[in-house]
Chain A
Amino acid sequence: MAQTAFVDEGLDHEHGHEPQGFIAKYIWSQDHKVIAIQYTLTAIAVGLLALVMSWLMRMQIGFPGSLEMVDQERYYQFVTMHGMIMVIYLLTALFLGGFGNYLIPLMIGARDMVFPYVNMLSYWTYLLSVLVLVASFFVPGGPTGAGWTLYPPQAILPGTPGRDWGIILMLVSLVIFVAAFTMGGLNYITTVLQARTRGMTMMRLPLTVWGIFVATVLGLLAFPALFVSGVMMLLDRLLGTSFFMPAVLSQGEMLEYSGGSPLLFQHLFWFFGHPEVYIVALPGFGIVSDLISTHARKNIFGYRMMVWAILAIGGLSFVVWAHHMYVSGMNPYFGFFFAFTTLIIAIPTAIKVYNWVLTLWRGDIHLTVPMLFSLAFILTFVAGGMSGLFLGNVVVDVPLSDTYFVVAHFHMVMGVAPILVIFGGLYHWYPKVTGRMLNDTLGKIHFWITFLGTYAIFFPMHYLGFVGIPRRYFEFEGIAFIPDSAHLLNEWITIAALVVGAAQFLFLFNLAWSAVRGRPSGANPWRSTTLEWQTPETPPGHGNWGARLPIVYRWAYDFSVPGAAEDYIPQNRPPERDAPGLHGSLRAEGAAP
């Protein structure tokens, strides 16, 4: 089956006719590259909403009452929508729908995804889910303010903002999103398994593809749990079923619910929610591996270990979910098991960090913008990972859970760190997408503000958690144990957040400006080895490869090979007779046409 891709050497019927006209080419497009751009731009647009909401929240926390529009209801609505948008509609969509769509076919030497039509449908379904989500800002009562975890009974009871319409639209939007993800995800997996070009064995895949591939498998297994919990909560809300609803008294009135379990929802939610962390992290791991290797001109250290670590993390991510529930009231004996599995997962994760750092060692490090973002990612991710060891270790979690320590932890590890990778990836692949370089000076300014700014926000925030300051509080008025200095720190964090947010508009400007005015990049400005840089055209044309598919002769990391003329050898360059190097042995497979 792996041979199907070669059938179309020369353009076959499917790819022979490039779509004509603006609409066919850029709107109803089945081309993975166009769909990737659609996904990316939509995710960035909805992400801007989340950014603005984080500003408004931070104003309330740093300078309480300064903005009249941020009342209690709106505050919780912003908290909720910011979280949900960032995790689902931005990070998941951008990594898989954006980077996955663009890079998988190009990196494995395919002409497109295996099911281009389903791929197109995936994007439009995703867009629908975003529109439904955004619509909830315009319904009576506004969007839900239940927190992004949407815990029942609160999410569907009076006393929570958006209880009438917001929560319904939220759940419907999530259900639609899962449908969109499933269509995209099946495509990515099938494409990686079936459409690799000749010579591209699994163990020659760039780590970017490995990360996206395993993340997609996780998504296909985890999102159904979100799907069913969304459907069940809709039934509880609309038809009065009691899946998650016990007998409750709401505002003095006994409701008709009985016998349901709020904890059941939490288990289902986190059965999705924890793998979700790795759905976002693994593509980031993969991309950053390739960025570091390319810009340090050195092979990734311990490629096989890196692949196994991705697989181990992916597998383990399904047996750690209840570490989000140590103080949920679940059977406390679960704590032993989930603390054990959670701390075990730190081992393959640590291996990845070591290998990134060891890749830098004795490298030839070019401090390009993508490399800077990669370094920032490592530092931020390690800081966030370390605080994860507090929260994963059940009894240490007890004083820290539901405090700002948790907010600091997850923002570092799955907010800022993945976004630093996204920026690194966008600076890295922008030349391939547009044929032009992003402006370097603007890029460096954007980098330093973003990196140092986010660290200034989230590093000290851990200490607010040590103080014991609870998260998701509209105000801290009259709480005696919180020292005045903590309020000062909150002001500082808010100012840093405003600056970091503003710097992102610099990046958006750069994206738009460089598309027209950027320096032409040529086909392979970073002198990279992977296939996407070896396309006959830049940006790659329809079908990616012109008349003949590339043939792969080597792994993705032949940088600075001793004896080679240049410091990189593209994957599709045939071996010379005397080419040395450990991975020369891989020539045997797939080399013979």
Chain B
Amino acid sequence: MAVGVILAALVVGSVIFSLLSPWWFTPLASNWGTIDDTLIITFVITGAVFAVLMLFMAYAVARFRHRDGARADYEPENRRLELWLTGATSVGIAAMLAPGLIVWNDFIRVPEGASTVEALGQQWSWSFRFPGADGVLGTADTSRITAENPFGLDPDDPRGRDDVLVSGGELHLPAGTPVKVVLRSTDVLHNFYVPQFRAKMDLVPGMVSYFWFTPEKTGTYEILCAELCGVGHSLMRGTVVVEDEGTFRPWLEQNPTFAQSLGRRPEQDVAEIRDEVQGEGGAEP
């Protein structure tokens, strides 16, 4: 009896814990309410199944505990019951999977008109790059990185010259505009993670990954690294400030373009920039 009661108490306790828990999601600050919804659907279905199944077990343990002279039933199979349970389980699985896949389909398709920002990770800091007036990020490569060219931009690529470079780990984004975050790492795996946005993705050296979201609530949020990246992993922090377009623009303009960062006026020609970069040495592997 005691064992059945303890098992049942554990299940009931778990349900109460879930209802009263002060530990719950941070307030959502992006468009990904649908992710939260899918999660809640999963939570309700799995929670209900867990509770019912385990209370049934607790009852069985209490009800059919050994008594002198008692004898167990002999029932090797019950095909009807087994098929029925398999069917019901499949329905439950479908009810969780279907919304999940629908939301995933949104998650991987960047909407038309999304702006682009690059997050560049390195042990153990963040920097960012906006595409500038042309709206296109210039090509970049880890092997071109030097002290003067920390993003490894290609000086031959005119699309990169107006790219706005943000160092210091603080990113600003305008509220309400979908943003495609392009991710690059110079050394090891990292992960761009802002809990309030829900979305996250790894940065992988040697390739470019991406995800998108729409920052919807103005405010200041922490950027964390969520993929183990060495001893400084837990210190790899950044900040993202979501603000109105009117505050965002002036902030963006404070940051130098690639051309400016090389101490050149924008109109200087591409060849000069290249000479300067290569003159510093170490540009070619």
Answer yes or no: B271 CB below 8 A from chain A CBs: no
Question: Are B42 and A389 in contact, CB atoms less than 8 angstroms apart?
Answer: yes
Give the complex CA separation of A121 and B54 in angstroms: 44
Q: Which residues of B contact A354 (CB under 8 A)?
A: 53, 82, 85
Give the most central of A249, A260, A463: most B CB within 10 Å: A249
Given A305-B82, A389-B96, A489-B23, the answer on whether A560 and B49 have CB atoms closer than 8 Å is no
A360-B57, A386-B46 given; A394·B101 CB < 8 A: yes
In contact, A472 and B145 (Cβ under 8 angstroms): no
The answer to whether A393 and B85 touch (CB under 8 A), given A329-B209, A360-B60, is no
Stretch from A10-18, A274-282, A340-348 contacting the other chain: A340-348
When distances are taken between beta carbons in the complex, the residues of chain B under 8 Å from A360 are: 57, 60-61, 64
Asked whether A505 is an interface residue with its Cβ less than 8 Å from the other chain, the reply is no
Query: Does chain B have a CB within 8 A of A526?
Result: no
B38, B73, B82, B193 interface centre (most CB from chain A within 10 Å): B73
Q: Does A510 lie at the interface of the complex (its beta carbon under 8 Å from any beta carbon of B)? A: no
Query: Is B234 interfacial (CB-CB < 8 Å)?
Result: yes
CB distance from A68 to the nearest CB of B (A): 17
B228 with A154: CB separation less than 8 A: yes
Residue of A nearest to B25 (CB): A466
Complex interface bits, B115-150 against A, C-beta within 8 A gives 1, otherwise 0: 000000011000000000000000001110100000
Q: A481 near B222 (CB under 8 angstroms)?
A: yes
Give every chain A residue within 8 A of B233 (Cβ-Cβ): 76, 472-474
**CB<8 Å pairs between A and B, sample of 22:** A76-B228, A151-B227, A157-B230, A160-B188, A246-B207, A305-B77, A327-B200, A328-B204, A329-B203, A336-B105, A346-B89, A347-B93, A350-B85, A357-B60, A382-B50, A383-B14, A393-B100, A399-B36, A401-B200, A476-B234, A480-B222, A583-B76
Q: Interface code B37-52, partner A: CB below 8 Å = 1, 0 otherwise?
A: 0110011011101100
Say whether B265 faces chain A, with CB atoms less than 8 Å apart. Answer: no
- Chain A residues in 8 Å Cβ range of B46: 386-387, 389-390
Distance of A120 Cα from B31 Cα, bound (Å): 60
Taking a contact as CB atoms under 8 Å apart, the answer to whether A393 and B189 are in contact is no
Question: Does chain A have a CB within 8 A of B251?
Answer: no
Q: Does B202 contact A (CB under 8 A)?
A: yes
Q: How far does the alpha carbon of A160 sit from the alpha carbon of B188 in the complex, in Å?
A: 10
Q: Is the interface of B mostly helix, strand, loop or mixed?
A: mixed
Among listed A166-174, A295-303, A532-540, interface-contacting one = A295-303
- If A145-B231, A327-B191, A467-B26 touch, whether A364 touches B76 (CB-CB below 8 Å) is no
Top 3 closest pairs, chain A to chain B, by CB: A246-B206, A329-B209, A468-B195
Q: Which of B49, B50, B207, B227 has the most CB of A within 10 A?
A: B227
Candidates A303, A364, A395, A562; contact of B70 at CB < 8 Å: A364
Question: Do A347 and B90 have beta carbons less than 8 Å apart?
Answer: yes
Which residues of B (9-50) have their CB < 8 Å from a CB of A?
10-11, 14, 17, 21-26, 32, 34-36, 38-39, 42-43, 45-47, 49-50
CB of B35 within 8 A of CB of A396, answer yes
Which of chain A's residues have a CB closer than 8 A to the CB of B252? Answer: none
Contacts known (A298-B72, A395-B38, A395-B100); A402 close to B193, Cβ less than 8 A = yes
A529→B90 CA distance, assembly (Å): 34
Q: Are B66 and A153 in contact (CB under 8 A)?
A: no
Name which of A42-50, A371-379, A435-443 contacts chain B: A371-379
Q: Looking across the interface, which residue of chain B has its beta carbon closest to that of A154? A: B188
Residues of B within 8 A of A559 (CB): 72, 74
Q: Are the CB atoms of B53 and A560 closer together than 8 Å?
A: no
CA distance A332 to B103 in the complex (A): 13
Tell me which of B25, B142, B183 contacts A248 (CB under 8 A): B142
Taken together as a complex, chains A and B put the C-alpha atoms of A335 and B104 apart, in Å, by 8
Please report the C-alpha to C-alpha distance between residue A72 and residue B233 in the assembled complex, in whole angstroms.
9
Provide the bound-state CA to CA distance between A299 and B75, in Å.
Answer: 7
Does B250 sit within 8 A of A, measured CB to CB?
no
Partner of B107, one of A145, A372, A398, A583: A398
Most chain B CB neighbours (cut-off 10 Å) among A360, A399, A480, A483: A399
Known: A254-B143, A344-B93. Is A299-B74 also a contact (CB below 8 A)? yes
Tell me if B229 is interfacial: C-beta within 8 Å of chain A: yes
B205 touches A262 (CB 8 A): yes
Interface size, chain B (Cβ < 8 Å): 102
Nearest CB on B from A264, distance (A):
10
**CB closest residue in chain B, given A469:** B195
Distance (whole angstroms) from the CB of A490 to the closest CB of chain B: 11
Indicate if the CB atoms of B86 and A347 lie closer than 8 Å: yes
- In the complex, the chain B residue whose C-beta lies closest to that of A76 is B231
- Asked if B25 contacts A395 (CB within 8 A), the reply is no
Task: Kindly report which residue of chain A lies nearest to residue B196, judged by CB atoms.
Answer: A481
Q: CB of A8 within 8 A of chain B?
A: no
Residues of A within 8 A of B86 (CB): 347, 351
- Chain A window 239-259, contacts with chain B (Cβ cutoff 8 Å), 1 for yes, 0 for no: 000000011111100101011
Q: Does B241 contact A (CB under 8 A)?
A: no
User: A20 to nearest B CB, angstroms?
Assistant: 45
Residues A343 and B97 in contact, CB atoms below 8 Å apart: yes
Residue B65 lies at the interface, judged by CB distance under 8 Å to chain A: yes
Known: A262-B206, A378-B57, A486-B23. A301 touches B77 (CB 8 A): yes
CB proximity of A366 to chain B, nearest CB, Å: 5
B38 cross-chain contacts in A, Cβ below 8 A: 393, 395-396
Closest Cβ of chain B: how far from A563's Cβ, in Å?
A: 10
B179 within 8 A of A: no
Contact of A399 among B10, B200, B227 (CB under 8 A): B200
Q: If A262-B206, A365-B66 touch, does A470 touch B193 (CB 8 Å cutoff)?
A: yes
C-alpha spacing A399/B226, complex, angstroms: 11
Task: Tell yes or no: A21 within 8 A of B by CB.
Answer: no
**Cβ contact within 8 Å between A375 and B25:** no
* Nearest opposing residue in chain B for A489, CB measure: B23
Is A474 touching B78 in the complex (CB atoms < 8 A)? no
Closest to B185 in A: A248
CA distance A15 to B165 in the complex (A): 77
Q: How far is the CA of A478 from the CA of B237 in the complex (A)?
A: 10
With a CB–CB cut-off of 8 A, which chain A residues contact B285? 247, 254, 256, 258
Does A573 reach chain B (CB closer than 8 Å)?
no
Please tell me if the beta carbons of B42 and A393 are within 8 angstroms of each other in the complex. yes
User: Out of A151, A258, A362, A485, which one reaches B22, CB within 8 Å?
Assistant: A485
Q: A534-548: which residues lie under 8 A (CB-CB) from chain B?
A: none
Which residues of B sit under 8 angstroms from A154, Cβ to Cβ? 188-189, 228-230
Partner of B228, one of A146, A249, A362, A366: A146
Q: Can you name the residue of chain A whose Cβ is closest to the Cβ of B83?
A: A305
Question: Residue of B at shortest CB range from A379?
Answer: B54
B89 touches A347 (CB 8 A): yes
- With CB as the reference atom, state the residue of chain A lying closest to B1: A367
Q: Which residues of A contact B97 (CB under 8 A)?
A: 339-340, 343, 393
Q: Does B282 contact A (CB under 8 A)?
A: yes
**Is B262 at the interface (CB under 8 A from chain A)?**
no
Q: A154-B228, A249-B142, A481-B195 are in contact. Are A364 and B188 (CB under 8 A)?
A: no
B150 to chain A, nearest CB (A): 10
CA of A249 to CA of B140, assembled, Å:
14
Chain B residue contacts of A301, Cβ below 8 A: 75-78
- B3, A367: Cβ atoms closer than 8 Å: yes
The CA-CA distance from A396 to B198 in the complex, in Å, is: 10
Contacts of B156 in A (CB 8 A): none
Specify which of B53, B64, B104, B196 is in contact with A364 (CB 8 Å cutoff).
B64
Q: Shortest beta-carbon distance, B73 to chain A, in Å?
A: 4
Q: Are A333 and B108 in contact (CB under 8 A)?
A: yes
Interface status of A434 (Cβ within 8 A of chain B): no
- Is there contact, CB below 8 Å, between A399 and B75? no
Residue of B whose beta carbon sits closest to that of A479:
B222
List chain B residues, Cβ under 8 A from A302. Answer: 76-78, 82
Report the Cα distance A399→B204, complex, angstroms: 19
How far is B83's CA from A591's CA once the two chains are assembled, in angstroms? 32
Q: Which residue of B lies closest to A563 (CB)?
A: B74
- Distance between Cα atoms of A261 and B207 in the complex (Å): 9
